[in-house]
A and B are shown apart, each in its own frame.
Chain A
Amino acid sequence: MTAILVKALADLRRRRVQAAVIFLTVLLAMATGTMALTLMSQTRDPYQAAFEAQKGAHLQVEFKASTDPQLLATTPAIIGASAAGGPYPATSLQFKHGGQSFYVQTFGRDSAGGDVEVLNVTAGHWPRANDEIVLTRSFAELNNVSIGDTIKVVSVPAQSTLKVVGEVVDIDEGSADLSSQHAWVLKGAVPALTTPGLSTYLMDYRFPADPTSSQLQGYVDRLRASLPPGSITASINYLLIRSIFNITNQIITGVLSAFSVFALAATIAIMATLVTGIVISAFREIGIMKAVGFTPAGVIGVFALQVIIPALAACLIGIPAGTILSQPLLANSSHALGLPYMPSFSLGLDLLLLVGGLVVVSLAATLPALRAGLLKPITAITIATAPRGRSGGWLRRQAARLRLPQPIVLGIGDAFARPLRAALTLVTVLLGVATVVVAIGLPRSFQLINNSETGAGNYQVVINRSNALPDAEVMRILNAQPETARVVALDGENIAVPGISDPVNSRIFRGDSSKLAYMVIAGRWFSGPGEVLAPAGFLHDTHLKIGDTFTGSLDGQALQLRVVGEVYDISNLGHELFMDYATLPPNTPNSDPSTYWVTLRPGSDLNAYIQRVAGTQPDLLDVHPNNTSLIGPVKIIDSVLLVLAVVLFLIGVGGIFNTLLLNTRERIQDTATLKAVGMSPRQVIVMVAASAGLLALVAGLMAMPVGLYLHHLLNDVVSTSTGNDTPPSVYDVFNLFELMAIPLLGVAVAIVASLLPGRWAARTNVIEVLHAE
């Protein structure tokens, strides 16, 4: 055993570059894989822990303010809830802070504790007086509101001020950049903050065991049946919140897992290529080893250990590195849930990864090394080296017919001289280029979706009005501005739909909303009353399709609706409805739009417009530019993709480099001969580069359809996880030039990677090599 180890270590010292290639590729693959598996195994834990610790509500239901609180007190028994909170009076509160207006659903609640939905006060304290308010930490951080700040309430005529006294984490709502937020005041403070007709009651319910989606729908249906029509105005359940909370990590872990498999596959290909190459070039050495007493297993051990030793070192660094790199994402999850960050990892998982990684590496190294073990000593000594590959002749002849320079012709032939090596190299490069395609395409797809969701390019100004300012007055102000080209006003209503437990959040547009350029996947934009569009999630859950009609319910009134199109929208995981304002019954209370999207005429001064409009009603109008920036989770996914692309690309470059190294070393005698008959150093470099370029070109051309398919697939995964189908335009993010440029870029990088082995080959000492024969 000692002899095997001594020989393997000596060979490792001799083959330092190959050892470095193995070390780096295994390191990258293991770090990526560990990150994916750590995230996958640990992501659910913080949410579950917080949900249990804070006695999260399985179901939250909002009731009209006219509902009898005594009746609401009986609702837990109606649905078999084991614990309940409320009824909490609630109102939509609009306030100003730092020149900006904000909306928060504000609840009257006298303590943060209770049997359900305990609020985790992470800073400050719970309100002790009617002029105090607590906000969610997520909201405070996003909008730079600090404890001690004063906010000015503008949603009621008697404009009062409230002091921010605390920050809480509420397990039952998503982060501020993804969903609307809650705030809390004492119950006694609510009446003074309430706009007539805009108040509700909230009930929180918790059940003995985690209910399923259908059970939750059953509970809401039972409540609906037990209460006067129209009593329920909104509801939300823990499954939706958990999905929203986990969606970023789910997508990231999905992407990481898929590309970790790629990285591992590419690494295995490189190792197999390497061991095969070493065995091929060391026939004489193998013969001598056997002649001096190495057993076949010993010979295999020597070659396998040359891979396993650097791979082990890479695992020992890569696994902890992957664990550490996953921590910021996990810390982010913990922070969002108000949990103290505790380094979260599984020692068992890490050990499993170490063992699994070494088993895979060992197999990848041992199988090609079997050839060395099975060689007969005398054969090995006699022929000294394996027969040199002769494939590639056809390619070489074609290249010669094209009158390409001889170094290029020879390089092209060499690229496929050993078909297995070439195939493994193609796999490595293909995976790298395909990942680059995905890393370029997916952010663009996300950008398109983001543009659609944020109206980028379609409207420039967003205005929110206080309830104290009539809609007509806002329209008068806007229409009076010469720069105003178009105003689309927006109202939000919750419409009960058969088949869906929670009332569906609906966007009600007034004005020419067809110009907003939402992505319509099928059908068309609505053109009249009663026509609606919905995302795939809604259509799937309601078993509706385009052309179907259904009856919704708003404020107890029936709405006859017809689906005319499928739209892309990630809000509420696809449970949304889009319709025209004219669809609403004329007597719907408080249905005046409160948000206005303004498109300016070309050449207008955006800032001047905003200042002028805001100046007309400084307290009652919030006027700001349309924020079209990407949301945080998308930025994280884009960053992860970028890192993965770099990792896979580097592994691909490593694969090319490794193959060229083996080829040039194996063909050193040929190179010496070529130099002897007049090939210049530059021509030698060109020959090696041609070999690299062809491999990269073939792999790149093969990678394009693979990359495009993966881009397609990942778009579908993201769309499906947000309750949508993928719009065709989202797939189509590459132009012809790019489709050609990406493989060519791969060729360019491969040629650069070939320079080092090319230079080594060019420096071949002809006399030493040829006289060593």
Chain B
Amino acid sequence: MSELVRLTDITKVYQGGVTGALNGVSLAIEEGEFTAIMGPSGSGKSTLLNLVAGLDRPSSGSVTVAGSDLGRLSETGLARFRRDRIGFVFQFFHLLPNLTALENVLIPARLKSRVSAESAGRALMSRLGIGEVADRYPSRLSGGQQQRVAVARALINQPTLLLADEPTGALDTKSGDQVMALFAELHQEGQTIVLVTHDPKLATRYAARVISMLDGRVIDDARLETTERKPADVIRVRSEEPSR
């Protein structure tokens, strides 16, 4: 497998911040991996995800995704990068309320090209089990359905990298499981996924690699498909973190 993401000595200090959100993080993610980034609130996991997504810039260090050094890209370049390479799934879905589910899904495709992607969008939605709600507005959908719409939106441009920030955080257990099953299915089809979660069970159940963070540092990096670590070990590491 080839390397898809490389973070080199990343620090991120927010304006006014005394300590950094990220302190010298370096890691690489390979194509086809399903990586979970775990950690408590304030550990820097979402910041890390935002940097990989090109939503933010590091204070120092470099982020390279699919051969693109994000630090060298302009705002427009970063927007194109997000549009073409990244699929992002948010905790709170962030669907546009005045657009139908299908219109939400099609936004990235329509930003990219004027060629109609409607049939592709409907097919994708059917595949994700939300074909029948394509013409409904988000407010008429359940949380699970909304998150599936968000996933479909993330996938419509066939991104190189799918990023998900607490995608089950706003869902009930059943809906959360359905969304995670969907991620697993996508991973099996070869999709590279980086998942941010604070739930170790979720991380270990679906991800093949779990990176644990604390205070802006990577404190553990475990590949579960190997014999290197067992899932329980990762859980143990998580449980040994000092309470915050």
Contact = CB atoms under 8 A, between A and B. Distances in A.
Interface of A: 387-390, 392-393, 396, 400, 403-407, 409-410, 413-414, 417, 669-670, 672-683, 766-767, 770-771, 773
B76 A681 contact: yes
Which of B108, B112, B154 has the most chain A CB atoms inside 10 A of its CB?
B108
Contact of B94 (A388, A400, A410, A669): A669
Number of chain B interface residues as a range: 35 or more
A676 B111 contact: no
B79 A678 contact: yes
B94 A676 contact: yes
B225 interface: no
A390 B79 contact: no
B88 A677 contact: yes
Nearest to A390: B98
Interface in B131-184: 137, 153-154, 157
Contacts of A767: 50, 55-56
B38 interface: no
Nearest to B86: A678
Contacts, number: 93
B197 to A, nearest CB: 16
Interface string B88-129: 101110111111100100011011101010000000000000
A390 B137 contact: yes
Given A767-B55, A767-B56, A678 B94 contact: no
A773 B165 CA distance: 13
A670 B50 CA distance: 17
Contact of A680 (B76, B88, B103): B76
Interface string B49-74: 01001011000000000000000000
B94 A771 contact: no
B80 A680 contact: yes
B75 interface: yes
Given A403-B114, A406-B110, A681-B75, A676 B88 contact: yes
Interface in B16-62: 46, 50, 53, 55-56
A392 B137 CA distance: 13
Nearest to B93: A673
Contacts of A677: 82-83, 88, 107-108, 111, 153-154
B235 to A, nearest CB: 27
A678 B108 contact: yes
Contacts of A417: 98
A407 B114 CA distance: 11
Contacts of A771: 46
A687 to B, nearest CB: 10
Interface of A is mostly: helix
B180 to A, nearest CB: 21
B98 A413 contact: yes
Given A406-B110, A680-B80, A674 B55 contact: no
A206 B79 CA distance: 85
Nearest to B137: A390
B43 to A, nearest CB: 14
Nearest to A673: B94
B141 to A, nearest CB: 14
B84 interface: yes
Contacts of B88: 676-677
A773 to B, nearest CB: 5
Nearest to B81: A678
Contacts of A770: 90, 92, 94
A392 B84 contact: no
A443 B114 CA distance: 46
Contacts of B92: 770, 773
Contacts of A390: 97-98, 137
A653 B63 CA distance: 44
A322 B56 CA distance: 52
B56 A678 contact: no
B121 to A, nearest CB: 12
28 contacts: A387-B97, A388-B98, A389-B98, A390-B137, A400-B103, A405-B110, A406-B110, A406-B111, A407-B111, A670-B98, A672-B94, A673-B90, A673-B95, A675-B82, A676-B82, A676-B88, A676-B94, A677-B83, A678-B157, A679-B79, A679-B107, A680-B83, A681-B75, A682-B76, A683-B111, A766-B55, A771-B46, A773-B94
Contacts of A673: 90, 94-96
A490 B204 CA distance: 107
Given A678-B80, A678-B84, 11 more contacts: A396-B99, A403-B116, A404-B114, A675-B82, A676-B53, A677-B153, A678-B157, A679-B83, A766-B55, A770-B94, A773-B94
